[in-house]
Amino acid sequence: MSLDASRVILGTYGQVFIDGNWQANFNHLEAKVEVQKKELNLSGDSWVRHKLGAKKGTGTVSGFKVTSFMLEKGFTKFEIISKLADPESYGFERVRLVNVIPDRLQLANWTAGEEVKEEISFTFEGYELLDPIKA
């Protein structure tokens, strides 16, 4: 069976919600989890085995500066919900990132005659798949 190209999801329909409020100015969101693995060398075994350790969540949200919303939030913890929906897809996916903390705040970054863009890198301490996409 070949891939139905109409089912490929475009990021055009992505949405970012911070503490339940849609942030229409953001047009990029990336979040990933990395796991630390401990290598185990066992006697009588020629394979290096791995034990899962701690996880670390990192991400970036970016787009256009419209308000001072992120400056007002400061370094307090908040929640991000990523919603990815495409009218031709099999449904939509929502992922909740918990205990989000910005790494830095952008106080000023502008050039005359250009749109002001805002980028916030962050860490998070857990996630929940709220709505999976299933074929």
Using CA atoms in the order 122, 125, 130, 134, what is the torsion angle rounded to 10 degrees? 80
Residue 2 lies in a domain: no
Token pair of 44, please? 């009588």
pLDDT of residue 87: 82
Domain coverage including residue 56: 10-131
State pTM to two decimals.
0.87
Residue 79 lies in a domain: yes
Beta strands (DSSP E) in 1-135 are 14-18, 21-22, 26-41, 48-64, 78-85, 92-102, 117-124, 127-131
Given phi > 0 = left and psi -120 to 50 = alpha, else beta, which region is 12? alpha
Residue ranges in the chain whose pLDDT is less than 70: 1
Contact criterion met (CB below 8 Å) for 60 and 27: no
pLDDT of residue 91: 80
Residue 5 lies in a domain: no
pLDDT of residue 88: 81
The enclosing domain of 40 has a CATH number of 2.30.110.20
Residue 94 lies in a domain: yes
Q: How many domains is the chain partitioned into structurally? A: 1
Residue 3 lies in a domain: no
